[in-house]
Amino acid sequence: MAKKTYDLLFKLLLIGDSGVGKTCVLFRFSDDAFNTTFISTIGIDFKIKTVELQGKKIKLQIWDTAGQERFHTITTSYYRGAMGIMLVYDITNGKSFENISKWLRNIDEHANEDVERMLLGNKCDMDDKRVVPKGKGEQIAREHGIRFFETSAKANINIEKAFLTLAEDILRKSFLRCASEGDVYTIY
């Protein structure tokens, strides 16, 4: 049998309106690259990246969903397996921010109760076109008790930090759960 090359597998999911930059955020994290051409995601796609946290090799399996309404049935079927969900809006698109409450409701309806959530205000390189103040993102995140970052896939701002923080939060949560169940402090 092949030796496992990682200690833990975390399944993450990216959701948010079409065009907010989910695919670009993931592409920046996985390939450290950026594309200005908008190729809207069809259904669902994924990337793998292994990171090391607290001496553990963690394989991140990151599912990138289509924001378009017509793929809603397919994409929501992926919520259940997710341990972490990134909700993305575009700071230059007010509607994409208003829709965050809709995406939060979708999580309540379709994801596991203990899923780790994170809010990202993407395209923060376009400050001249900003319509959503940073404080509004911070406020909705605070109201829901979740973390918030403004990111730019284009200028590579806070992308790695967001993914690593989400993975760390999931790792911490799984340690706490094991501890409370009286297990040893390692899980595979």
Ligand X SMILES: *[C@@H]1O[C@H](CO)[C@@H](O)[C@H](O)[C@H]1NC(C)=O
Among 154, 173, 174, 178, which residue sits at the site for ligand GTP (rule: CB under 6 A)?
154
Closest contact distance (angstroms) between CB of 165 and ligand X is 26
From the list ligand GTP, Mg ion, ligand X, none, pick the one residue 95 interacts with, judged by a Cβ distance below 5 to 8 Å according to partner type.
ligand X
Applying the rule CB under 5 A, the residues between 165 and 184 that interact with Mg ion are none
Tokens of 140: 């909705």
Site string for ligand GTP, 119-138 (x = CB under 6 A): ---xx-xx------------
Among 8, 13, 21, 82, which residue sits at the site for ligand GTP (rule: CB under 6 A)?
21
83 or 152, CB closer to ligand GTP?
Answer: 152
* CB-based contacts of 90, cutoff 8 Å, min separation 6: 17, 19, 20, 21, 96, 97, 121, 122, 123
At residue 22, the 3 state secondary structure works out as: helix
Gap between the Cα atoms of 23 and 30, Å rounded: 10
Rg, Å, the chain Cα set: 16
